[in-house]
Each structure stands twice: as C-alpha cells, then as structure tokens.
Amino acid sequence: AAPDPPASPSARCSMAEPTETKAVPACPSARPRRSSATRDPPFSAASAVLLRRRGELGPTGSPRTPRHSRQQVAEPPEAPAAGDAAEEAGGAEQLYEMNISKELFYRLNHARQTYDFVHRMKHKHCALKKTRMSIFDALTRLGELEDHEHFMTMFAPSHKYTVLEHAMLTAEHIRLAYPEERWFQLTGLVHSLGKLLSHGALGKEPQWAVCGESFPVGCRFEDAIAYSEYFIANPDCRKRRYNTRHGVYSQNCGLAAVNMSWSAYEYLYHVLRLNKVTLPEEAYFAIRYQTFESLGKHGAYACLVCEEDIEMLPWLDRLRHFRQMAYAEMRDVPKLQQLYKYYAPIVKEFFPEELAW
C-alpha cells in the first residue's frame, strides 16, 4: 500500500512538540503589547520561524519532504485558444520586460547593500534636518510618486498607480477587516511614507535603496532571499566578520538589535521613532519588516529572533496580506480628501502636528 502523503507545513507546526533546548531571551519593549487577533493565515511567519528552529524547513524555506512521501506529478497545461495568441504574446513581452527590470534592480541592490552603506545612510537621513511636514502633507507628496514596487509582485496592474493610491487601498482593506483597530488602519495608511526617500525634497535616492526585499546586514546572506546569487558581488561576502551565521550579532538577540538593509521602511521606522510617534509596538514591527520576505515566508534568520519578535509576527503577516490585496485589486481608488474626515482624528491621536524628516 502506498504511504500516506506528508502533512502540510501548518499541520506539522500544530502537531509537532517544541523541542526546547534553552530559554530564549526576551528583548525589551517600550510599550505593552496588544493581544493578537484570531484571523491568522494557516502558514504564518511565526510558523515558519518555529519550523526553521526545529529543522523542518530547508535552507530556502521550503518544507523538508520525507523520503517515503509520494511524488506529485503535475498535469500538462491546457492549450490556449487560437484567439488568445496575440494577447498572450503581449503578456509575454510585458513579463520579459518586468523580469529584466527586476533582475537589474536586485543586481544593484544586492551588490551595494553593505553594513557600512547602511550606517552611512542612517547618518545621512536620520538626522531629520531636511524638512518638516504633517502626515497629510507627506501623503500629498506621496501622490506625486509612481509605485515602482508592483513589478516585484505577481500582480501587474493594467495602468500605473501612485504610492498614495496603494497606501489608501491598503488602509481601506484593513478598515473593513479590523474596524476596531484604528491604529492598524493608520498603519496601513502610512506604511509607505518612507518612499519619500525617492522624492526630490528628501534626497531622491535610487530605487534600489528605497524598494525591494529587506534583509539583515552584518551577517551571512541567506539563500532564502530573492536572487541571493547576486550577493556574490557584495563586498561583505569577502569579510569574515560578516560572513558567519550570526555575524556581529548574538544568538536570539532580537530583531531590534539587527541592522536591516537600507530601504523606505527602515527610514520610516526611524522617522517615527525619533519623532516619538505613539503607535503600538506591533505597528513599528510591521512597518519595519513588511518586506522582510525571507523571514515572513521562509523563517530565515530564526537564530536572531527572540520570543517577543515571534509574538509580533502575526501583525506582520496581516499587513503583508493587505498590501498584497491592494496590489491585486487596484481599482475604485478613493481620493485623499474623501478619507480625510475619517483619518484626521486618528492621525491626531497618534502623531504630532508636524514631523521632522
């Protein structure tokens, strides 16, 4: 008789008993944590981290398959209709151009995001001496920027959208799903404000230093990072200090102690911290790590994660889910003036009148 198929990753996560070797230190928190909602995806970032710790995920984040499992044979795709040939040709050309752009982006990003570069960018941008703006002034400027990040997702919009339009759709999706969590709705509205780095008023940084996948610097680059083969051009790969599992960090030190690659989200995290915005810790965590795909999908860098990080991961999953939903359903985009009446009191609750940028 053929053996039973292997359990799914989520099933293994729920069935397997945790193997505790030693207590994992907790990292400090500035504010009390909020309780997690119950609407979590079946295979979450927390599940991925725990599976990686137990050795049940491979180096690229895919579940390890037992040797006795049966192989699944894929069925051949159906032949397209004759009338769809021209449409498919146009789609193939667009896909080719998207892949070329994505490859060039990651070549530049992975070659230049070094430990020293991140510290130079923090010194350059975290002094917050460029300008002062309110949140709604910043959102208005965000409407002047085209969203370049959609080409790195599986969704290709039929026409170009601004960063502001995507942010408003994200916030409105969260508002429908979480009507009581006003702070989370506001997090969805402001989650892309860091992309003002590419605006002329804040330095006009290149896209490879604004968008894309986030990852730790100062330790070995994991294979689970997209296009990880391009790290071969990164100088840190030839420095022994940065080319070990933990690098300059310690076991389970907590992500708050880890330097992340420089991006819009890292910049926004520091802007909010330095302006003493009173959003809860879950919001700060979700904003900073929203494109930390190798952690959220594959459980990479589990050796740096502490217990408090694991408790925060469900909120990271939720924000990533609504970001992707907004990319997939870019239609009926509201105007900022239509949302002002609802979000203005929430902004006043958590943000100062003006922020330094």
CA dihedral over 192, 194, 195, 199, signed as positive or negative: positive
> Is 156 in contact with 94 (CB distance < 8 Å)?
yes
Cα-based torsion angle of the residue sequence 312, 189, 144, 146 in order, rounded to the nearest 10 degrees: 50
The number of angstroms, rounded, from the C-alpha of 333 to the middle of its chain's C-alpha atoms is: 23
Residues 6 or more apart in contact with residue 24 via CB below 8 angstroms: 252, 306, 307
Q: Which residue is associated with the tokens 């390890």?
A: 64
- Give 216-278 as a DSSP string: BSSSPPPTTSTTGGGGGG-GGGG-GGGSSSSTTS-TT--GGGSPBPP-HHHHHHHHHHHTT--
Is the four-CA dihedral 135, 290, 184, 124 of positive or negative sign?
negative
Cβ-Cβ contacts under 8 Å for 164 (sequence gap 6 or more) = 139, 140, 142, 143, 145, 336
Write out the E strands in 89-207: 132-133
Q: How many CB atoms are closer than 10 A to CB 171? A: 24
Residues contributing to the annotated binding site: 166, 191
Q: Which two tokens stand for residue 151?
A: 């080409």
Give the pairing of strands 132-133 and 355-356: antiparallel
Nearest to 260 by CA among 121, 357, 164: 121
Q: Which amino acid is at 52?
A: R
Q: What is the DSSP string of 257-271?
A: GSPBPP-HHHHHHHH
Longest dimension (CA), the chain: 71
Binding residues for Fe cation: 166, 191
